[in-house]
Structure 1
Amino acid sequence: MSLVLAVEVDGGGAHAPRRVRHVAEVAERAGFALVTIEDDLLRPGRIGAVERAAFIAASTTVLSVAPVVSTTYTEPFHVSSQLASVDHIAAGRAGWVVAASPQPEAAAAWGRPQADPRQEALDAVRVVRALWDSWEDDAVIRDVATGRYLDRDRLHYVDFAGAAYTVKGPAIVPRPPQGQLVVLARPGLVPDDEVDVALVGGADLDAVRRAAGATATPRTFAEVEVALDTAEADGADRVRSAPWASAEHLRYTGSAEGLVRLLRELDPWVDGVRLHPLALDEDLAVLSQLVVPALVKERLATRPLPGVALRQTLGLPRPQNRFAIPGGVA
């Protein structure tokens, strides 16, 4: 399987609709399979990641989109409905990057005691997944002759009771086209058996390889921050004038050719990469014009195809509905 290419597109002004459309169009034309969109509970006034994901889903044809949605202080019932709606808009091209917000400032902003981020993440992912299954695939009838829209026997309660909330269900949105959206998360936040794609980092190649080898998720993506040489400045100069976003990711500074070599070295160890541009406009242009075409030419990556769900792009099967399986667990 060739590398699946993803890029984080939450750069300056990326919450404005025209800007969102432009960035998505550039990424889609370049051949990226997936864009992710950051969010932050402590930055009011921005259009949320889910809303921007829905806009991208409606504005593209082959590009998949996965918003970052924190499980801290958010209601999993609403998260489930919102993400399922994005998958319906995208005809199966949606995912979910699970995140947590452990900062004391977040608890204060929401007027709640500081939560255990891992427990809330685990509870939320389990509830969201159960709610996606709470409608069986053929629950919608649309029988005009009888006036029946739903088969109530194919809607199910999830009956979850946790430390912070209870959820009865069923969902208010039919099961997503993919059955279950692709769930991405960093190792340690959510148990591997609840995750489809682990987002692994590391200070160097060996650290990334170890992190990838330590996961039991079906797929792994390497997290790589990039500061590429441009016509105006080389990557090293650009880093000196702008800080890196995270200390947990592999970092690359330099030419497009050097990045292609790095990704070639990563290819045997991971199933994909999520690139984090230092500055979205500058780096996305180089990635689109030089890096992605070179990877496709070497067959290290392939362009996404029309009508293909994100699960198919990743080589993941469409899950059976737990309630439709005899003895299934809610």
Structure 2
Amino acid sequence: MSIERMGSESEVRKSLFALGIELDGEGYHPGAWRRADHEPERLLGAQVLRARVAAAENAGFTFASFDDSITPSATAIGGRIDAVTRAGFVAAGTSTLGLVPVVAATYAEPFHISSQLSSLDYASRGRAGWLAADDPGSARTWGAAPRVGDDEVRRERVDSIEVARRLWDSWEDDAVVRDYAAGKFLNRDRLHHVDFIGETFSVKGPSIVPRPPQGQVVVFGYDTAGSGIDVALVSGATVAETLAAVRHAREAGVPRVLVDLTVALDIPGASASERLAELDADTVADHTARLHFSGSTGDLTALLTELSAHADGVRLHLAVIDEDLPALAHYVLPALLRAGIAHRPVPGSTLRANLRLPRPANRYAKELTR
């Protein structure tokens, strides 16, 4: 795979290049459980999750995402625990890895979503993200009427992101006082009603959780124009389609654009093609939604180096996490770090800082006379 370089911003892109990894399940391939390093029932155990998160952090990844849905997968075998719960569980045991759970904005109450994510940001000391997704098939689970059409689903998601941002700002940074001598712990003048009225819900506010350490949790998403996200995850069936998606997201004004990429690597004893053939013998994986790579670690390093001239980073979906993650950790990430393409997150830094996103000003602070 080769990509023609374009533009004069390639060096800037390299300095921003973030490395993300999806850690849900056993891998993107529905048959990945057949090649996992553990028995299937251990997938929901704490040890497997902790080990994978630790391996991703030690390798130098910028963030890990955790997919989720309230409805069962149509292809993958196994179950999952709520994504925010998983991210919160590993928060205290990590120090640099951003934690980005999927939380569907369809039907779920945005007040509760914002509170959960604020709490995750505190638990992780400023490393929380939110992949705002749609889960329109879950209407019956929530006891709600199904949304009609993509426009209605999108409207609810955009409204949910907006009200979450307002709720994060509903506490100013100095709202918590902690004046034990005076018995004063909260400055009520620094709390604000958000008074949001959308098409499907309204929220008065303020939040029940103080403003997150990052000011606002980093919002990831697939939609671009007018969606209110900080980071767009884009891809395409081909390199040309992927680069077009990157350009489209930049033109829409999204601050950061990352490429979603599925990966199957050559490992000792088996090539990527052999591994995929074995996995596909039972259930064939659908690669059409994302750019797909299969081959050697050296060729993947070259592809990521080329992508760094165009995008602000990648999120990797591995065929089999237990097999592909060690290959990434031993060969691909060290090469990118040595070349200065990527940078290992610094302990104590926030996810916003690692993505070169500024800490947002509080929208309500200017309303008061200081």
1:85 is matched with which residue? Answer: 119
Deviation at 1:166, TM superposition (A): 1.4
* Cα distance in structure 2, aligned partners of 1:277 and 1:245: 13
Q: Deviations over 1:15-37 (max 9, x none)?
A: 43221111110001111110000
Q: 1:73 aligns with which of 107, 117, 122?
A: 107
2:330 is matched with which residue? Answer: 289
Quick check: 2:16–2:355 contact (8 Å CA) kept in 1?
no
Quick check: 2:16–2:356 contact (8 Å CA) kept in 1?
no
Correspondence 1:1-40 to 2 at 5 A: 1-12=15-26, 14-40=43-69
* CA shift in 2, pair 1:6/1:150, >3 Å: same
Which is higher, the Rg of structure 1 or of structure 2?
2
Deviation at 1:172, TM superposition (A): 0.6
1:308 is matched with which residue? Answer: 349
Q: Deviations over 1:144-181 (max 9, x none)?
A: 11211110000111111222221111101100000011
* Cα distance in structure 2, aligned partners of 1:132 and 1:22: 32
Deviation at 1:245, TM superposition (A): 5.5
1:60 is matched with which residue? Answer: 94
Quick check: 2:237–2:287 contact (8 Å CA) kept in 1?
no
* Cα distance in structure 2, aligned partners of 1:210 and 1:15: 38
Number of equivalenced pairs: 323
SS in 2 for 1:67: strand
2:314 is matched with which residue? Answer: 273
* Cα distance in structure 1, aligned partners of 2:216 and 2:69: 24
Deviation at 1:14, TM superposition (A): 4.9
What's the C-alpha RMSD, in Å, of the aligned pairs?
1.6
* TM-score for both structures, normalised by structure 2: 0.84
* Cα distance in structure 1, aligned partners of 2:286 and 2:299: 21
* Cα distance in structure 1, aligned partners of 2:186 and 2:106: 33
SS in 2 for 1:40: coil
Answer 1 or 2: higher relative contact order, Cα 8 Å, separation at least 6: 2
Q: Deviations over 1:42-75 (max 9, x none)?
A: 0396320001111121110111111011001111
Deviation at 1:108, TM superposition (A): 2.3
User: What are the ranges of 5 or more consecutive residues in structure 2 without an aligned counterpart?
Assistant: 1-14, 27-41, 74-78
Amino acid across the alignment from 2:266:
D
Quick check: 1:49–1:68 contact (8 Å CA) kept in 2?
yes
Deviation at 1:238, TM superposition (A): 2.0
* Cα distance in structure 2, aligned partners of 1:231 and 1:224: 22
Structure 1 position 186 matched with structure 2 position 200: no
User: What are the ranges of 5 or more consecutive residues in structure 1 without an aligned counterpart?
Assistant: none
Q: Deviations over 1:187-219 (max 9, x none)?
A: 25x724x11111010122221111111112011
* Cα distance in structure 2, aligned partners of 1:39 and 1:148: 41
SS in 2 for 1:257: helix
* TM-score for both structures, normalised by structure 1: 0.94
